[in-house]
Structure 1
Amino acid sequence: MTETTHRNDTTTRETLRGRRGSDIPAGKRGNTTIADSVVAKIAGMAAREIPEIHNLGGGMARALGAVRERVPGGGSGVTRGVSVEVGERQAAVDLDVVVEYGVSITDTARDVRTNVINAVERMTGLEVVEVNIAVHDVHLPDEEEPEQEETRVT
């Protein structure tokens, strides 16, 4: 029989606030620091691996992200819709998603949550204490993505 426990101690999200990165003890040979942006990229990639996820980010975030991607050095958009808080040994993740029409949102959220937790914990060694998912939109089959203008260098 499997026993489920709930965390009601000081390992809550509040203990993660205000920290800039993760310091994972490595013994006498040094420390490894993992930046928030690294955890955000891992979480964003893991969320996008779920086929029922159409996109990440709310409407405004997607629009600004599309503009940012066209600017040289503006980033790849992997972390759009992803927010993380990283502590010394734990991380919390918030995701804003758009799902495909017709899928079970609860099943999709479960799959995303599992994939994000597995990826972050496997790659960083951090314990993921929570993954919060906000579904901002449903992508309809006949909806077209906003057209992105081609960037030309002259």
Structure 2
Amino acid sequence: MTDTSSSFPQGDGRPEDGPQGPSGADRVPEERGKTTIADSVVEKIVGTAARDVPGIHALGAGMSRTIGAVRERVPGGGRASVRGGVKVEVGERQAAVDLVVVVEYGVPITDLAGDVRVSVISAVERLTGLEVVEVNIAVDDVHLPDEDDDTESRVA
């Protein structure tokens, strides 16, 4: 008879343990390492979710929108940032969100704010697993139908 014992105790977590002890497949995925999510990732999710709500004209305060519009027009400046007007604080399990928005004229702001909160909370919680503890919304401006978003210079 051959000796099949080893110097390792049974169930020491080695992959070859198989039925005799816990293997990697038997462990809960949350126990196999740590996942961290950068604030910038959550900001992009928030920005995208907020922009998708009908009645939101733009994100960000006046100056940051102007700078973003100019940056878009510069070759190599890239496309508009979905993070403009968004600030988040991300912890291990929770996130808090601050948004600055411009709303379309005629849209009830309190209803719109509720829709934005629902969209942001569901997107962040679904995509990151973080609990969103608050979504603070600051309405910076109202976009009127006859307003032009163009920031081009009118100098001839």
Give me the identity figure in percent.
70
Aligned to 1:90: 94
The answer to whether the aligner puts 1:54 opposite 2:57 as a matched pair is yes
> Is residue 2:43 matched to residue 1:33?
no
CA RMSD, Structure 1 to Structure 2 (Å) = 1.8
Gap regions ≥5 residues in structure 2: 1-28
Once the two structures are superposed, the pairs formed by residues 6-85 of structure 1 within 5 Å of their partners are: 27-71=30-74, 72=76, 74=78, 76-85=80-89
Query: Which string of whole-angstrom CA distances, capped at 9 and with x for unpartnered residues, describes residues 82-115 of structure 1?
Result: 0111011000010000000011000000000110
In structure 2, C-alpha distance between the alignment counterparts of 1:85 and 1:67, rounded to whole Å? 28
SS in 1 for 2:148: coil
Could you say which structure has the larger radius of gyration?
Answer: 2
For residues 61-97 of structure 1, give each alpha carbon's deviation from its aligned partner in whole angstroms, at most 9, with x where no partner exists: 1011122334425563100000111011000010000
Structure 2 CA distance for aligned equivalents of residues 148 and 47 of structure 1: 26
The answer to whether the 8 A contact 1:66-1:148 is kept is: no
In the alignment, the residues of structure 2 paired with residue 134 and residue 68 of structure 1 have an alpha-carbon distance, to the nearest angstrom, of 24
State whether residues 69 and 77 of structure 1, in contact with CA within 8 Å, keep that contact through their aligned partners in structure 2: no
Amino acid at match of 2:95: A
Q: CA deviation at 1:148?
A: 4.7
